[in-house]
Amino acid sequence: MITSYYVFIILGFLAVVMLSEGVLLAWNSYRGPKARSIAKRLRVLSAGAPMEQEHKSIIKTRLLSTSPVLESVLLSIPRIHVLDRLLVQAGIDMTVASFLLASIGFYGVGVAALVLAGVPTALAAASAAPLVFLPLVYAMNQRTRRIKKIEEQLPDALDLIGRALRAGHAFQGAFHMVADEAPAPVCEEFKTAFDEINFGVSVQEALMNMATRVPSTDLRYFVIAVMIQRDTGGNLAELLDNISRLMRDRMKLLGTVRVLAAEGKLSAWILSLLPFALALAMTIINPGFLNILFTDPLGQRLLLGAGVLMLTGIIWLWRLTKIRV
């Protein structure tokens, strides 16, 4: 009796250990760091330019969602891959399904907060509509910052490729060196291009995909120069040195232009915010002074006309102070 009891305890212990090990292995296979890294690389590859059919079969897996049903629904939405490309360009490690769920979640939280504050349901649903676009605004802002950082790091990356070519490394090997030694986020893009070449994508197509993922003028200069050099020949290391020097000179000129345009941008901010600041100050000093503008029909027409003129002036000011180099 005692022996059977101990045997039962040992078998139960082994069963629990094996069950725990099985759950851990299943988790690592589908949700572990390695599986997530592979899924992320596949999503990044899928965000490049359109590729041949045999390459599409490699990168299509779990492109938009981990759920096959939800992915089929998302694939039926026109131009849904533009949103996926935006997430990759912004460096946001999310699927399109998760991003859309986050947008709906922001909207639901906003509606719930307004309803709890006493706002009618219909008005709360209409007022919270802008919250849906908060993740989109965040993604666009992150994309702008990431592309700007890549442009700042790109000259050093080209210098590294040039030194690697002079040392006798192949062009693909130089890409691998940039992927290993360059700082983020420029190393991520070169690593993706290197992975594409290893998957069987041609060098020209991998470069075009990188230019699609990073809509930067400087990077397009690099891609076009390399593609022309591979067709016509020449000293690629010297060509990359000239391109990196051109990029540094362009960034220096852009910094000078930003300094010179800073005064104009400050004036644009002051002139854009001044009417609203004056209206707020007048409302605080005399709360009923501006009520006639909202109650009288003539005041409403004056407000509409003033709003149109102010919007036109703001757009004109910002176009004057935005100088492209």
133-151 pLDDT tens trace: 999 999 999 999 999 999 9
Tell me how long the chain is.
325
- Secondary structure percentages of the chain, helix, strand, coil, to 5: 80, 0, 20
pLDDT of 59? 44
- Average pLDDT of the chain is 80
Q: Distance (Å, rounded) from C-alpha 306 to C-alpha 293?
A: 11
Question: Is 39 a residue whose pLDDT tops 70?
Answer: no
pTM, two decimal places = 0.67
Cβ(134)–Cβ(124) under 8 Å? no
DSSP 79-140: THHHHHHHHHHHT----HHHHHHHHHHHHHHHHHHHHHTT--HHHHHHHTGGGGGHHHHHHH
Statement: residue 34 has pLDDT above 70: no
- Could you tell me the residue ranges of all domains in the chain? 2-108, 151-250, 253-321
Q: Using the predicted structure, report yes or no on whether residue 62 has a pLDDT greater than 50.
A: no
**Which of 263, 268, 274 lies closest to 306, judged by CA?**
274
Q: pLDDT at residue 274 above 50?
A: yes
Domain range 151-250, CATH class = mainly alpha
Amino acid at 44: V
Q: What is the mean pLDDT of residues 26-44?
A: 58
Q: Is the peptide bond before 185 cis (omega within 30 degrees of 0)?
A: yes
